[in-house]
Amino acid sequence: MSYSLSWSNSIGVYAPSNPVSVDKLPIVELVQMCQTEAQTNRSAFAELMRRNQSYVDQVLYKLAPDWQDRADLAQEVWLRVYRNIKRLQEPEKFRGWLSRIATNLFYDELRKRKRVGSSVSLDAPFMSGDGDEMSWDLPSAAPSPIENMSTQEFYEELRRAIQDLPSSFRETIVLREIQGLSYEEISEITGVSLGTVKSRIARARLKLQAQLQPYLSNM
């Protein structure tokens, strides 16, 4: 799935003052071109968007697979990137920065919605109240209407629980459990040590488990 951003409506029609071939440039140089000029270089920015649009789509799909307005969210991601790209201090970390913008936008939007019916699967084990190891994944074999409702309520509560985490915990748990990144990749994106990443994820899981225990005990 891919979306096109209407420059004439949202940013302006691209009319480069001097022709520059950007399709062969590395992403770091494209970001630097956008940062060094008084006005963001439109051709460089368009090339950044072309190369990374599918990545934005994937991030948003993993966060909200059932949302029908992901195209609007994707456009808003790029508008935020356009407005803030000069603030990115490490151009080589552009994709991680882009991921954080998309994730933050998702949670901004989630706060505005009363109900979210999509599911999130966390593959990390957790401990039940009696000490048994359990899996985040819920059974999918022909659930009854009541089971469907309970499952939806659980995932809505899970989304709210993730939203209520401290921002550093929420970022790491989303990158790990929803986007499926490795600890090393998360360390690179967030700029913290590998040990800190592991600690934040472990503490985030404990907080989620504590908040969701009433739901887990009835499952």
- Same domain membership, residue 49 and residue 104: yes
Single-letter amino acid code for the residue at 208? L
Q: Which long-range contacts (CB under 8 A, 24 or more apart) does 164-169 make?
A: 164/211, 165/204, 165/207, 165/208, 168/200, 169/200, 169/203, 169/204, 169/207
* pLDDT value at residue 168: 85
Chain segment 28-48, per-residue pLDDT in tens = 999 998 888 767 788 899 999
* pLDDT value at residue 73: 92
CATH number, domain of 183, equals: 1.10.10.10
Task: Dig out the tokens for 127 from the structure.
Answer: 């401990």
Decide which of 9 and 115 is more confident.
115
- Same domain membership, residue 149 and residue 100: no
Q: Tokens 């019916």: give the residue.
A: 117
* DSSP secondary structure, 147-209, as one string: HHHHHHHHHHHHHHHHHHS-HHHHHHHIIIIIS---HHHHHHHHTS-HHHHHHHHHHHHHHHH
Tell me how far apart the alpha carbons of residues 70 and 193 are, in angstroms, rounded to a whole number. 32
**Mean pLDDT over the full length of the chain:** 75
* pLDDT value at residue 215: 67
- Same domain membership, residue 79 and residue 18: yes
Chain segment 143-197, per-residue pLDDT in tens = 444 444 456 677 777 778 888 888 888 888 888 887 777 888 888 888 889 999 9
Domain that holds residue 200: 126-216
Q: How many residues are present in the chain?
A: 219
Chain segment 125-147, per-residue pLDDT in tens = 544 445 555 554 444 444 444 44
Decide which of 126 and 213 is more confident.
213
Decide which of 198 and 152 is more confident.
198
> pTM to 2 decimals?
0.56
- Same domain membership, residue 83 and residue 178: no
- Same domain membership, residue 147 and residue 87: no
- Same domain membership, residue 64 and residue 146: no
